[in-house]
Chain A
Amino acid sequence: MTDELRYDKLSTSIEIIVAGGEPTATGDADVDVLARLASGLRGLPAPGFKVGLRAELLPGAEARGLGLLARLRAAVSFDRETGLAAAGGGCGLAAGACCVGGTVVNLLGFASAAAVAAFIEASLPYFVSVSLVMMGALLFWVLRREGSGRAMVTRSAIRAGAVVGSAYGVVFAATMALSMAMGLY
């Protein structure tokens, strides 16, 4: 069965589900599993309903700033992967903070290159250790918040670990490259 045919069959099953019926077997076991799962989405809350009811219950919330906070939260909200990448990048930056900080201090003329190089060499293991603990805590927090079932946690952990680790590696490498380019490491 081609992919297009599968997409059509699932779409037909979903039409039936949304109309209130029960989809019949399509002859494709995978599509049938997805259709059964889709029947659990029948009646998914309409986006406007939750917002409208909240506004009806708490009309003063807008005036008190909650609406503004919610809007701000929505404006800066990321996809899960983007958020994880940003957090991983943040940990990478923490790991390389001594490199970046040392470079800035050297550029501003507050310390000699030799002093900065000595500082980076001595402190880098501590910064890396702290950043790894931060990354571990972040992953633990994300998985604990999202986890429901071993299969889901395992897949989620692998994916989250890959995203966070990649972002960490790229940002940390960039900070190291910066200090190397300046001859400080």
Chain B
Amino acid sequence: MLSAKQLEAERRLVESSQRHPHHFADLYDRYFDRIYAFALTRAGNRGAAEDITADTFRQAFENLSRFEWRGVPFSAWLFRIAANAATTYYQRSSKEQALPELLGESEASWENRLIEVETRTQLFQLVKRLPKDQRRVIVMRFGEEKSINEVAQAMGRTEGAVKALQHRAMETLRTWVGDSHD
């Protein structure tokens, strides 16, 4: 939940982006992880998540001039675009296949979904804070889906050293996240 001060800063950023479209980069950087995590949680696979995220930001960028500030976070508008983009994605990719659990979804499951989005967003952001070598291993393993052998070759290390770095990185993330996953 944003404080009144943060909301005010966000309003200024949105208005600045409406006047100078290149300032949209700041909004993009601020919300990329959250929208991608939402798309991934909604779609369940990387390819679909990338398509939905790209559609969301394209639409947001194109329609930013029509956005009216009503005191709610900008992310609420983005999430609405992302939810529509997810529906459109599934309608486009398969006429028969409905977006999983889109209809009749209860409030509780939406709440669980939002918790999952926030958890993923937090993890994605924590990865950026890892020490350089640990971060490289995690990004290559999960972001580029490389095998241990491929990571070892890319980093010029032994497979054992990469496995140790990977373990250390996960331990670091666990420490940062706290006991919520225990």
> Interface residues, chain A, CB within 8 Å of chain B?
3-4, 6-8, 10-11, 14-15, 18, 20, 33-34, 36-38, 40-47, 49-50, 53-54, 56-58, 60-61, 64, 66, 79-81, 146, 148-152, 155-156
Contacts and interface: CB of A to CB of B under 8 A. Distances in A.
Contacts of B21: 58, 60
Contacts of A57: 24, 28, 57-58, 61
Contacts of B45: 20, 43
A58 B124 CA distance: 23
Interface string B149-172: 000000000001001101100110
A144 to B, nearest CB: 11
Given A41-B138, A53-B54, A79 B163 contact: no
Contacts of B49: 43
A133 to B, nearest CB: 22
A45 B171 contact: no
B110 interface: no
A49 B50 contact: yes
Given A7-B164, A44-B124, A53-B54, A37 B181 contact: yes
Contacts of A151: 178-179
Contacts of A46: 46, 50, 143-144
Interface in B136-152: 138-139, 141-145, 147-148
Contacts, number: 123
A34 B172 CA distance: 10
Contacts of A36: 181
A77 to B, nearest CB: 10
B7 interface: no
Contact of B141 (A8, A18, A53): A18
B16 interface: no
Contacts of B93: none
B22 A3 contact: no
13 contacts: A33-B181, A34-B167, A38-B142, A40-B123, A41-B124, A43-B40, A45-B143, A57-B61, A58-B61, A61-B25, A79-B131, A79-B132, A148-B122
* 3 A-B pairs with the lowest CB-CB distances in the bound complex, closest first: A151-B178, A44-B142, A7-B163
B32 interface: yes
A121 B22 CA distance: 52
Nearest to A61: B22
B141 A80 contact: no
A5 to B, nearest CB: 10
B143 A3 contact: no
Nearest to A33: B182
A10 B176 contact: no
A152 B124 contact: no
